[in-house]
Homo-oligomer: A and B are copies of this chain.
Amino acid sequence: MRIHVQNLSDDPGFAITPAQWAAAAARTPDVSAGHVLSFGETAEEFRASIQQAEVLVAQTGAVRRLFPAEAPRLRLIYCTAAGLDSLAPFDWLPPNAQLLNNRGAHGAKAGEYGIMALLMLATGMPEFATAQRAGRWAPRPGFVLAGRHVAVVGLGTLGSAVAAQAARFGMRVTGVRTRSEPHPACAQVVTLDALDTVLPDTDFLVLALPLTAATQGMLDRRRIALLPQGAGVVNIGRGALLDQDALCDALETGHMSGAVLDVFVPEPVPPGHRLWATPNLVMTPHVSADDPNTYVPLSLDIFFQNLRAFRDGAALPNRFDTARGY
């Protein structure tokens, strides 16, 4: 097949190099041989290849910028990201092309970020960081994670990895997702419509959902008030899952003891934004799930798994459902 790889010139840390491609191809020789391959970084290079390409492998930002485009032969678009909400609405998708994400590539790093965030909340790091900014020595007792209750909302790659780490530390884990099917790391799983019943008993709430019409703003002011005094929140999904102003209010009043957020509205968070000065809030710049040492290799392994399924006429494991939004 004709496969075009399109990188994004302004995000070189996650670009797919020919050497990484060759290494991944060597790991999956049955499906990686015999293709016509092109690499591009500029819009001109994209236009030169996309007319003939049957498969596009691309950084998501490149897809956002370069489509709509005339790509009559395109059958597969593989984006090296899991959340593709930035590509919605999906009316730009060529009629015969299926969209794939790299769901599965983020687990190890996201699990480590998640347990780091929970340990930080249990230790009181958000308060200590706020005190440090003020040059103030202000001890307060922390606690170990064992026996504490964490609710993980969303049990995809990210949420599952966080739930598994939390269980390993002896936490009681409640999973919250669209279906109530059991999950190996969770003591119980409830559906999203039962979230209100879980919140009052939650020490820590972890948001690990994709952003869709159904999930936007789900942690709103009313639900934040349902959390017990002193609860902590972690968001590794998308910024718009929660009401940022309501969260900042809850941190300022002390209703919430701390938050560790990796995702925001907007990104980058502009200078002077209220978030920067909110007490007991730890912010990271959308890095929770990405380890560049493993990200592209894992993404390419997932791509070749899907290419094999496509060749064999099987269901594509990473097909992105544009109606559902994940």
Contacts and interface: CB of A to CB of B under 8 A. Distances in A.
Contacts of A123: 112-113, 116, 284, 287
Contact of A143 (B132, B282, B286, B291): B291
A125 interface: yes
Interface in A99-115: 108-109, 112-113, 115
Contacts of A90: none
A148 to B, nearest CB: 10
Contacts of A146: 108
A99 to B, nearest CB: 25
A120 B119 CA distance: 10
Interface in A135-154: 135-146
Contacts of A138: 285
A119 B115 contact: yes
A29 interface: no
A166 interface: no
A290 interface: yes
Interface string A166-178: 0011000000000
A39 interface: no
A86 interface: no
Contact of A139 (B125, B272, B287): B287
Contacts of A168: 168
A143 B285 contact: no
Contact of A116 (B120, B133, B292): B120
A122 interface: yes
A13 interface: yes
A145 B276 contact: no
Given A108-B146, A144-B112, A286 B139 contact: yes
Interface size class of A (residues with CB under 8 A): 35 or more
A269 B129 contact: no
Q: Top 3 nearest A-B pairs by Cβ distance? A: A137-B268, A116-B119, A135-B276
9 contacts: A112-B119, A112-B169, A116-B116, A129-B129, A132-B283, A135-B272, A137-B268, A141-B290, A144-B293
One complex includes copies of this chain to the number of: 2
B287 A140 contact: yes
A294 B137 contact: no
A284 to B, nearest CB: 5
Contact of A128 (B108, B137, B145, B283): B283
A271 interface: yes
A179 interface: no
Contacts of A35: none
A291 B115 contact: no
Given A123-B116, A285-B139, A144 B109 contact: yes
A124 interface: yes
B124 A287 contact: yes
A324 interface: no
A311 interface: no
A152 B115 CA distance: 21
